[in-house]
A and B are shown apart, each in its own frame.
Chain A
Amino acid sequence: MSQKEHFFSAKNRKLFTDPFNNGNPITVLVLGICSALAVTVKLQPAIVMAISVTVVTGCSSLIISLIRKTIPTRIRIIVQLVVVAALVILVDQILKACAYEISKQLSVFVGLIITNCIIMGRIEAFALGNKPTPSLVDGLGNGAAYGAILVIVAFVRELFGSGSLFDIRIIPESWYVKNGGFYENNGLIILPPMALIILGIIIWVHRSFNKSLHEK
């Protein structure tokens, strides 16, 4: 047993935490942007999307890593796609059964997790050449780091676009112009371009704190 690595070993911990900082799939690698724009108008769908993507990245990395030595190199992309697609269909079906309203809001974007570059990227770059445990950790870490950015964007967009969080009103009704106040929701925040701008601001803040990301 002494040879075997502990699940929470320093190396595995780093695999999990690295995507949150130096290797963030959205802010550093700029992958998976399209869904980050589409599902971040409200917090609740963003969180469901984050969990779905984390489950898919984690499980697909684990499965591919388990069978990595048996996969014929020539059809390896097809094998990866079949595994990812099967997992996404499962997630979609489970959402339809357990969270029908949210699955309707996420609509095509659940199906489009298949095309999320983060998943294929992690499988190609990591799971194909590493043992199952680190692959699982790496997949989960990347999914969660993607999800974290999604949640931050959704937080800003729901708060300033709709004046609520989780559909619970945060900005008091009496502040609104229509009720004689001074405040108005920012309609622009609801639209996709604003998600891109918020993302840009997050990248800016991230890079100004992390000097190692600066190009020489």
Chain B
Amino acid sequence: MNTNKNSYTLIYSTIMVIIVAAALAFAADALKNPINKNREIEKKMNILMSVGKALEISGEKNLFIESEYKKYIKEEFLVNAKGERIQGDAFNTDLKKEYAKPEQERKLPVFVCIDKDIKLYILPVRGKGLWGAIWGYVSLKDDLNTIYGTNFDHASETPGLGAQIATRNFQERFSGKKLFKNSAFVSVQVIKEGSAALDDYKVDGISGSTITSKAVGKMMLESLSNYRAFFGKFSNQ
């Protein structure tokens, strides 16, 4: 057979693409459930880590995370731009899609953690890093002003530099910082390490990765400002 004819080449490539596409589609479908389960567990773990739980895993990971999540996260709900609670699935809300909408139409998830007599509000944040998306969770004490803990993750920040936002060492710098200054929303600024005295509204960035560090500050300011109405509602009560 002449394998160099144009018609042969065309038919060959068509058939090859169809076979490969079918095989990949089949594999993607077969593995969809375990992959989604892994993502769900990871999300639950990140939410727990923002309130300082699940830092050490004991026993089988999936079971452990599920049981810890059930134990501490007592409420999940959505709020709109006016700070009112609305119907919907908070856990599976995709922040990326919500941020693409105009501010008035956004539905924003809130998670509530209750550990003995401490009540914490966990808010998801999302923004742009140096190379790709960065995201995380910020937990607030029930004055909705003081940060209790944070957890950040990233898609593709520079390993060893920007990627350090995913380490506890960096995340712990936010604990105890405040969002409101004289009842104005200011959020927390990430500054160049050692460039200024730290106060309640500043944390040190990571040396060598100014852009990623600043991006974390910007992400917190922009994402959390969506919740201003929600914060306001609480302080009036």
Contact = CB atoms under 8 A, between A and B. Distances in A.
A202 B236 CA distance: 68
B28 A93 contact: yes
Contacts of A29: none
B35 A82 contact: no
Given A72-B8, A74-B4, A97-B35, A89 B24 contact: yes
Contacts of B27: 89-90, 93
A190 interface: yes
A196 B31 CA distance: 36
A98 interface: yes
B42 interface: yes
A45 to B, nearest CB: 12
A189 B17 CA distance: 44
Interface string B18-38: 001001100110010011001
Interface in A150-195: 190-191
A79 B20 CA distance: 11
Nearest to A78: B13
Nearest to B5: A72
A70 B3 contact: yes
Contacts of A72: 3-4, 8-9, 12
A75 interface: yes
A117 interface: no
A77 interface: no
Given A73-B4, A78-B13, A86 B20 contact: yes
A191 B160 contact: yes
Contacts of A83: 20
B93 interface: no
Interface residues of A, number: 24
Chain A: interface secondary structure?
helix
Contacts of B41: 100
B93 to A, nearest CB: 22
A96 B117 CA distance: 38
A97 B23 contact: no
A201 interface: no
A86 B23 CA distance: 8
Nearest to A191: B160
A86 B26 CA distance: 12
A93 B3 contact: no
Contacts of B20: 82-83, 86
Given A74-B4, A82-B20, A89-B24, A190 B160 contact: yes
B55 interface: no
17 contacts: A70-B3, A71-B12, A74-B9, A78-B13, A79-B12, A82-B16, A82-B17, A82-B20, A86-B20, A86-B23, A89-B24, A89-B27, A90-B27, A93-B31, A96-B38, A98-B34, A100-B35
